[in-house]
Amino acid sequence: MKTNHPADLPTKWPFSSQPAKKKGARLSRGSMVADVCLVAVWGATIPGLMWLGAMGGF
């Protein structure tokens, strides 16, 4: 008769030390560069639009 010891039971992420690695969870270098560029453009657009609005008299 086999007994289940804690080491024999399957563990899920919140209760284990490391989350399971998924193959699709990796980001390529190109997608990281694209994300950084999008954040930079978004960060420059907001002050730019505010400056244009101030110049226009809003």
Collapsing DSSP states into helix, strand and coil, what is residue 23? helix
**What's the pTM?**
0.48
More confident site: 40 or 8? 40
Query: 19 Cβ partners below 8 Å, 6+ apart?
Result: 13
- CA angle centred on 17, ends 15 and 23, rounded to 5°: 100
Does residue 9 register a pLDDT over 60? Answer: no
The H or E element that residue 25 is part of is none
For residue range 10-45, list pLDDT tens digits in order.
556 566 566 566 665 688 999 999 999 999 999 999
Cα–Cα distances (Å) from 12 to 7, 19, 20, 41, 46, in that order, read 13, 8, 8, 39, 42
Domain definitions of the chain by residue range: 27-58
